Amino acid sequence: MDFSTIKNQMEAKDGTGYKHIREICADVRLVFKNAMKYNDEKSDVHVMAKTLLAKFEEKWLQLLPKVTEEETRREEEEAEAQLALQVAQEAAQAKMARDLSNELYEVDVILEELREMVLKRCRLHPPK
């Protein structure tokens, strides 16, 4: 992992990029940890990676409340959207049920009229 890969993932428009800021945070940590892992403790790269990781963690802790707040807001929006969708689906189902009930009532009325006609004809023309 390196910073150019992180940047490309952040700028990706094809849906392959980061979905959440915590993914970016994890990759930034990985860059610094890899720099420390693959470089001697006394090397400038290791020392700078360690220093920058500490600074990054400090800044991340300052940003974390805003991240948490945004996550909560998004979860609430998603829940509201889900509820609105459910209400719309229930309303559509209720309308279909009313329409079906009305059609069944009309069929019932027609069947009753037909029954009355059949009974009337049977009385007028009894079987011989």
pTM of the model: 0.65
- Within a domain: 13: yes
pLDDT digits (tens, 9 = 90+) for 45-93: 999 999 999 999 999 999 999 999 999 999 999 999 999 999 999 999 9
Q: What gap in Å lies between CA 45 and CA 51, rounded to an integer?
A: 10
CATH number for the domain spanning 14: value is 1.20.920
* Helix 21-37 / helix 3-11 crossing angle, nearest 10 deg: 170
Say if 84 falls within a structural domain.
yes
pLDDT band at 103 (very low <50, low <70, confident <90, very high): very high
pLDDT of residue 126: 74
For residues 71 and 77, give the distance between their C-alpha atoms in angstroms, rounded to a whole number.
Answer: 10
Number of compact structural domains in the chain: 1
Query: Does residue 104 lie within any of the structural domains?
Result: no
Residue 119 is assigned to a structural domain of this protein: no
Q: Is residue 115 a part of any domain in this protein?
A: no
Does residue 44 lie within any of the structural domains?
yes
Structural domain boundaries, residue 21 = 3-90
